């Protein structure tokens, strides 16, 4: 039998909405959380404090402005953050030292690090990607112009997917970016593929399959689309989109309320499993290959803002905070922002018919 499934709430959560969560690549218990309260928090999720609270806040790193994204670097010792203050920063998690890696001319929305290519890519609302090689800081970041504002970005082993406004999806080949960066006269490469979102509404999140086969995007209108990189007609015919994160209206006449899908995350081990978190405060597990829902977790108190699987796939971190889709002016995530860590059962994320 699978061990009892546990879910616990981390002590000392951020004081305001969570923008991103990231598990360390080499430890299943080190979790980074980026928050609108201008801090990046580093937790040890498994080290319980004396008073019985789950998890320990190891350190917090203050920024000048809200942090919109965070990711680990080459190892668990460094992290990169995307800031509202236009900068991409590297944090040495051991010393807490912050260095500015590059500077955009607008807030930086997302940052991803590709361990395969040792590349750091940041996407900013100034309609550019910046490609860096953090191991060689002497190289000036390569700016890749985008046609629209990037809203989300994800990296698979060989590709990086940029979801933009106006329903544009650009897929860049990481090796091409790497080559362009190291060439003496860097010229921004053309995207490997230019696509149009299968979703009608603004895209909210994108996540790449660890198998390098494809990616999933979600929109503000309760829908998730799964697509494959392979441009062949056969593969493209496999792409699909489905509705999710809808709840019957509690007030007024019968209707479904369609919530935004704020977060997507693929399971690092069972590559076809992915989790989606929506404004309806639920998290669901899906099987991308079998096109079926595997599980819906119990409702959280507030909207799910961020999701992250640990590198070994055993833990799922869920960032919960009140959604800021509406009524933003009086918004405060304080007190209602929480991070839950769910320990997945052995077969919980295993697609049906694969394991047993």
Instruction: Indicate the residue among 110 and 342 with the shorter CB distance to other proteins.
Output: 110
Least separation in angstroms between residue 125's CB and other proteins is: 7
User: Taking a C-beta distance cutoff of 8 angstroms, is the pair 163, 203 a contact?
Assistant: yes
**Residues 289-313 as b or e (16 or more Cβ within 10 Å = b):** beeeebeebeebebbbbbbbbbbeb
Least separation in angstroms between residue 171's CB and other proteins is: 14
d(CA 243, CA 245): 7
Among 96, 249, 335, 346, which residue sits at the site for other proteins (rule: CB under 8 A)? Answer: 249
Residue 172 makes CB contacts below 8 A (sequence gap 6+) with 129, 144, 159, 160, 162, 189, 191, 192
Sheet holding 56-62, edge to edge: 18-23, 30-35, 39-44, 56-62
Q: What are phi and psi of 35, to 5 degrees?
A: -135, 160
Contact between 92 and other proteins by CB under 8 A: the answer reads no
Contact between 231 and other proteins by CB under 8 A: the answer reads no
Among 105, 182, 190, 236, which residue sits at the site for other proteins (rule: CB under 8 A)? Answer: 105
Instruction: Indicate the residue among 1 and 254 with the shorter CB distance to other proteins.
Output: 254
Instruction: Indicate the residue among 126 and 289 with the shorter CB distance to other proteins.
Output: 126
User: What are the structure tokens assigned to 91, written together?
Assistant: 């944090």
Least separation in angstroms between residue 35's CB and other proteins is: 12
Stretch that binds other proteins, among 4-12, 116-124, 129-137, 220-228 (CB under 8 A): 220-228
Helix (H) or strand (E) holding 131: strand 128-132
Footprint on this chain of other proteins (rule: CB under 8 A): 17, 19, 36, 38, 64-66, 68, 84-87, 103, 105, 107, 109, 125, 145, 147-149, 151, 164-168, 194, 196-197, 200-202, 204, 220-222, 246, 249, 251-260, 279-280, 323-332
């Amino acid at each position: 039998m699978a061990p009892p499934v546990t879910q616990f709430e981390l002590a000392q959560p951020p004081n305001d909405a969570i923008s991103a969560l990231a598990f360390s690549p080499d430890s299943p218990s080190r979790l980074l959380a980026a928050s609108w309260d201008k801090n990046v928090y580093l937790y040890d999720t498994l080290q319980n404090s004396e008073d019985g609270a789950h998890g320990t806040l190891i350190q917090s790193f203050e920024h000048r402005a809200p942090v919109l994204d965070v990711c680990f670097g080459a190892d668990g010792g460094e992290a990169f953050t995307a800031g509202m203050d236009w900068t991409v920063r590297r944090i040495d998690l051991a010393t807490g030292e912050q260095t500015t890696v590059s500077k955009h001319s607008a807030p930086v929305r997302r940052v991803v690090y590709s361990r395969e290519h040792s590349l750091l890519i940041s996407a900013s609302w100034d309609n550019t990607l910046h490609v860096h090689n953090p191991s060689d800081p002497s190289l000036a970041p390569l700016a890749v112009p985008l046609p629209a504002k990037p809203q989300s970005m994800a990296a698979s082993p060989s590709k990086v997917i940029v979801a933009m406004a106006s329903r544009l999806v650009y897929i860049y080949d990481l090796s091409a970016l790497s080559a362009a960066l190291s060439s003496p006269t860097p010229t921004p490469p053309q995207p490997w593929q230019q696509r149009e979102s299968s979703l009608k509404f603004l895209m909210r999140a994108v996540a790449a399959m660890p198998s390098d086969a494809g990616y999933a995007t979600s929109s503000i209108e309760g829908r998730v689309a799964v697509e494959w990189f392979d441009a062949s007609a056969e593969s493209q015919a496999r792409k699909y989109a489905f509705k999710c994160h809808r709840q019957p209206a509690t007030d007024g006449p019968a209707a479904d309320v369609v919530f935004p899908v704020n977060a997507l995350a693929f399971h690092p081990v069972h590559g076809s499993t992915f989790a989606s978190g929506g404004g309806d405060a639920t998290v669901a597990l899906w099987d991308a290959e079998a096109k079926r829902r595997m599980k819906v977790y119990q409702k959280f108190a507030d909207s799910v803002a961020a999701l992250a699987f640990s590198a070994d796939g055993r833990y799922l971190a869920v960032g919960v905070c009140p959604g800021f889709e509406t009524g933003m002016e009086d918004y405060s995530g304080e007190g209602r922002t929480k991070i839950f860590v769910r320990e997945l059962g052995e077969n919980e994320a295993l697609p049906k018919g694969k394991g047993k």
